[in-house]
Structure 1
Amino acid sequence: MTRPVIIGNCSGFYGDRIAAAREMVDGGPIDVLCGDYLAELTMLILAKAQAKDPAGGFAKTFLTQVEDVLGTCLERGIKIVANAGGLNAAGLADAIRAVATRLGLTVAVAHIEGDDLRGDLSAIRPEVVGEPVSANAYLGGWGIAQALAAGADVVVTGRVTDASLVVGPAAWWHGWGLEDWDRLAGAVAAGHVIECGPQATGGNYPFLDEITDLRYPGFPIAEVAADGSSVITKHPGTGGLVSVGTVTAQLLYEIAEPAYLGPDVTTHMDTAVLGQDAEHRVTISGVQGSPPPSTLKVALNDIGGFRNTMTFVITGLDIEAKAARCESLLFEVLGGKDRFGSVDVRLLRFDTPDAEENALATAHLKITVMDPDPQVVGRAFSGAAMELALAGYAGFHTTTPPTSESAYGVYRPAAVPRTALEQVVVLPDGSRHVVADPPTGPAPTPPTLTPADLPDGPTVRAPLGRVCGARSGDKGGNANVGLWARDDAGHAWLRAYLTVDRLRELLGPEAADLRIERYELPTLRAINVVVHRLLGDGVASTARPDPQAKGLGEYLRSRTVDVPAALLD
């Protein structure tokens, strides 16, 4: 087939807009309906669900969407591809067949296996201690391609990379080979853009004035051509915006270094060239690829222990003194901090002097305790907090009543040799086939770029965000921030100004002792920043108020810096 394959996304996470599947199917022509349901935290959630019900472990909202659109997709020849299988892709495939039977439909369902490593952890490095509740390798798109080539109407997977949901259908449609590196890399770029749903179409976009239609954004579509180039768009008449800016933001999202390692190809994001083809149509071209590494990324989730949090509201005068008094009294009642595995104390200042409203005069003292023993951090902790109600600081109250403990998870990244596992596609007829691995190569070395000099001319104090956009998120315990300028002059200043030292200064005390990596992506007028360990052991365990660093980019944009006056004219 020579025309581009049209792939529409209907989910960016487990819990996303249920109606998106029907809207995507009815909104215009598509060849493939795909959906991403698996984040690092989701695997922990599904592991807990599977522990309660061994027949579970997959994203149940996907079944609701399938029931809604399956008949229409079969009638129009639209393939459905999703990673909603989580920890039980076979169980999800059976559930889809049951839905089809109930609807009186005949459907060919395939699924992918091989990512779940809980049966044998020996090859994972670093060596695994204990028994994680989930241990999944990130597989690629070739199993999906093989299933579609065998006639599957629906393909469900466990842990594949998010972009594989586009790579697999594109490789099947165009008949690509394992070593079509540039074509595969182009599909990875397109898949990375649409994997998070409306984040590519104006969602979470910093320049609100650019969004021409402020209704709920339409979900994104990737039209992937035979050469690997693509057009990112959305259905006519839907809300939001598809622009070079919205696509840039999503290309930078959680990629770490520009050489984006994947199971099928290493995608060099710093070679991507974007262009505004027409309204709500952005081209991605020029993406270069190279062989993937000999190892696969592995995500491990453990139950780390139990936690409890109490948040004390402090009002008006002497905020810091009241907070110190509260902390001192609380741990006096509890018998000291040493009885807990760990303690996190944060004074969150929202108060303003001479506030016009009561709420604007308040700060929050958030105290979190963690321990392997649930009784240590349960009602014994929150009950002690309430003993301060009449004996603590003036104006004492809390945001919640006493709470019970809850289990928290710990995320650990790891790797496994490809040779230690087999990716298997189970076709609709029940036959099992091993999916071939592509050739591999060494990890690429980042290019060396000449340091930039700050432009001459007068400067004024202004927020960083007047010059650049940002999008941020989490990669395990690391925070990832992509920043881009809207023109060449802004980019020249940005790459000269935002050194590692300057970034550390702008990020504030919490990043003072952390490792910061900075990468340049000139074709996108962008810089990507990785702040190691800002999130501790990941979203499920960190006590940081923004546990996935979603607001970190906007925080950076809010910082007042010396900006060349010419850039603000």
Structure 2
Amino acid sequence: MSTVRRAVRIGNISGFYGDRLNAAREMLDGGRDGGTELDVLCGDYLAELTMLILAKAQAKDPEAGYAKTFLTQMRDVLGDCVARGVKVVANAGGLNPAGLAAAVEELGTGAKVAYVEGDDLRGALEEITPPVAGKPVSANAYLGGWGIAEALAAGADVVVTGRVTDASLVVGPAAWWHGWDRSDFDALAGAVVAGHVIECGPQATGGNYAFLDEITDRRYPGFPIAEVEADGSSVITKHPGTGGLVSVGTVTAQLLYEIAAPAYLGPDCTTHFDTVALSEDGEHRVRISGVRGSAPPPTLKVALNDAGGYRNTMTLVLTGLDIEAKAELAESLLFDVLGGRDRFAEVDVRLLRFDHPDAASNAEATAHLRVTVKDPDPRVVGRSFSNATMELALGGYAGFHTTTPPSSESAFGVYRPAAVPRTAVTHTVVLPDGTRRTVADPATTSDGAVSAVSEPAAPPEGPAARVPLGRVVGARSGDKGGDANIGLWTRTDASYAWLRAFLTVERARELLGPEAADLAIDIHALPNLRALNVVVHGILGDGVASSVRPDPQAKGLGEYVRSRLVDVPTALLEAD
């Protein structure tokens, strides 16, 4: 008679390359103070921008290309992990997982190290669509969790990977622990949701949370833990005695982070985010249940990074009266000095208004004129550009000064999303004994059907008050390549019914302001979460490394939307 194994306890130790170094030690030891003894430590180190950073490092040193901060963490904890039987899974291998695996072995802890590769397509671009022009500096398919699962089943203590999906760092260990099959799509989808929640570390435990008044423990948040059950359901929690908050709200916020349509396409399954159910399961414990999954698509997502050229930015400060006239004069004089705008491949000029009439302080009377130029030739946008701004110092507008001295050019990258047939990718795991094994694909489908979405009850009627949208709506926003997503959620059914009726595409465009006037906008309903996901296409241009927005990853876009004044039924304000 078979028995169901207890939940696997997976703790996150990194949400990005450069995250809190001592998170690994805190998570490993936190269970000894009445907390959860972990089975797996997992860390996410890769983002679209990170791949570009690692490619630059590898171009200088072929032995580089991985996240070195992971090694720093392992020097501190790996010996204890081996002694306690705690596995470590991380995508810190970046563009050189074999190199990182070797470096981990050199730490001398006796850990059995495996690595996953096959995602790097720089030498096999032919089957990528749309067709690839030129030679990208990075080209990586998003692999799934089965290579990780096979490595753990073969006895690995540490598994490092290249570009796998962030959620695969939980899917792989959960599939290994519970012995799932590749067709267990509901269980796999549940693990995807758990992985998506903890992948960004303390963003699930009160970090970057919209409703600040709900967080009574303002210390740095503890990193999150996912306790994943045999059926794929899970509980999200944190170690006791750590800061922050785990609540339905904080988990909802992270679920909405950097997603698009409710049918979330992944390499192991399609996860239907509109089936996710959340419930409180005790203090700092939130249960995730009801997640449905289906077969994944026959293609894998590919992230391409190209060398985009060079850029430079100078910011001119405008103070007091006649801000717009001063900005117009400064722009005219600057490009006259430079010999015209046509000298540059691209020019972006933004007047950023922070000024107030009759300001109480000098700083509150200032605005910024932000001028960015781009060109393939570094000499065109280098000191010749930034030095030219100084010629306005005595011959320009009253009160001229800049936020920085003249600066040199910097290289930038261009991100492009693409896809590749699974048959063009060889997902490979290299086991601790050196054996190379090709990882089998799951069954796939080209059916993009989405789950049925139920409409909420009729929104409340009656008198309204003009207040910030954020009085009743939370938000979390981020980048999806050149697109931005804004997840908006409410705390009551009545507020969700109002938001669902209120937020049309045109109203979203009004709230976002002029920069979204001509952009395509999609709004996806997630009624189980009382949430809407707004996807703004093209607002970030060619991605974070190229974007000229002051907020190039759209991190503050949701909070901007929450600050906009709208007419909200007073009944909601009284109840919220």
Q: Same fold (TM over 0.5)?
A: yes
Q: Does residue 350 of structure 1 match 2:358?
A: no
Q: Which runs of 4+ in 1 moved over 4 A?
A: 448-454
- Please give the secondary structure, in 2, of the residue aligned with 1:185: helix
- Please give the secondary structure, in 1, of the residue aligned with 2:356: coil
Check conservation: 1:174, 1:226, Cα contact below 8 A.
yes
- Please give the secondary structure, in 1, of the residue aligned with 2:286: strand
| Cα distance in 2 for residues equivalent to 1:361 and 1:117 | 51
Check conservation: 1:166, 1:190, Cα contact below 8 A.
yes
- The residue aligned with 1:25 is 28
- Please give the secondary structure, in 2, of the residue aligned with 1:460: strand
Q: 2:515 aligns with which of 510, 518, 521?
A: 510
Deviation at 1:37, TM superposition (A): 0.2
Q: 2:100 aligns with which of 92, 102, 106?
A: 92
Q: Map of 1:14-413 to 2, 5 A cutoff? A: 14-28=17-31, 29-100=37-108, 105-413=109-417
| Cα distance in 2 for residues equivalent to 1:445 and 1:360 | 52
- Please give the secondary structure, in 1, of the residue aligned with 2:15: coil
Q: Against the structure 1 CA distance between its residues 9 and 450, is the aligned structure 2 distance closer, same or farther, given a 3 Å change threshold?
A: closer
TM-score (norm 2): 0.97
Check conservation: 1:276, 1:282, Cα contact below 8 A.
yes
Check conservation: 1:519, 1:529, Cα contact below 8 A.
yes
| Cα distance in 1 for residues equivalent to 2:455 and 2:225 | 37
- The one-letter code of the counterpart of 1:545 is P
Q: 1:551 aligns with which of 547, 556, 559?
A: 556
- The one-letter code of the counterpart of 2:25 is R
TM-score (norm 1): 0.98
- The residue aligned with 1:12 is 15
> Where do 5+ consecutive residues of structure 1 fail to align?
none
Check conservation: 1:452, 1:495, Cα contact below 8 A.
no
- Please give the secondary structure, in 2, of the residue aligned with 1:121: coil
| Cα distance in 1 for residues equivalent to 2:358 and 2:467 | 26
| Cα distance in 1 for residues equivalent to 2:551 and 2:217 | 28
Q: Does residue 494 of structure 1 match 2:478?
A: no
Q: Against the structure 1 CA distance between its residues 332 and 125, is the aligned structure 2 distance closer, same or farther, given a 3 Å change threshold?
A: same
Deviation at 1:444, TM superposition (A): 2.4
Check conservation: 1:325, 1:393, Cα contact below 8 A.
yes
- The one-letter code of the counterpart of 1:25 is L
Deviation at 1:213, TM superposition (A): 1.0
Q: 2:566 aligns with which of 561, 565, 569?
A: 561
Deviation at 1:212, TM superposition (A): 2.5
Q: Map of 1:395-474 to 2, 5 A cutoff? A: 395-446=399-450, 447=452, 454-474=459-479
- The residue aligned with 1:521 is 526
Deviation at 1:77, TM superposition (A): 0.1
| Cα distance in 1 for residues equivalent to 2:447 and 2:536 | 21
| Cα distance in 2 for residues equivalent to 1:5 and 1:197 | 18
Deviation at 1:442, TM superposition (A): 1.9
Over aligned residues, Cα RMSD in angstroms? 0.9
| Cα distance in 2 for residues equivalent to 1:542 and 1:5 | 40
| Cα distance in 1 for residues equivalent to 2:38 and 2:193 | 19
| Cα distance in 1 for residues equivalent to 2:49 and 2:536 | 19
Deviation at 1:451, TM superposition (A): 8.7
Aligned residue pairs: how many? 565
- Please give the secondary structure, in 2, of the residue aligned with 1:278: coil
> Where do 5+ consecutive residues of structure 2 fail to align?
32-36
Q: Sequence identity of aligned pairs in percent?
A: 76
Deviation at 1:449, TM superposition (A): 5.5
Deviation at 1:452, TM superposition (A): 7.3
Show CA shifts across 1:359-404 (max 9, x none).
1100000000001111111111011111111100000000011111
Check conservation: 1:521, 1:528, Cα contact below 8 A.
yes
- The residue aligned with 2:537 is 532
Deviation at 1:456, TM superposition (A): 1.6
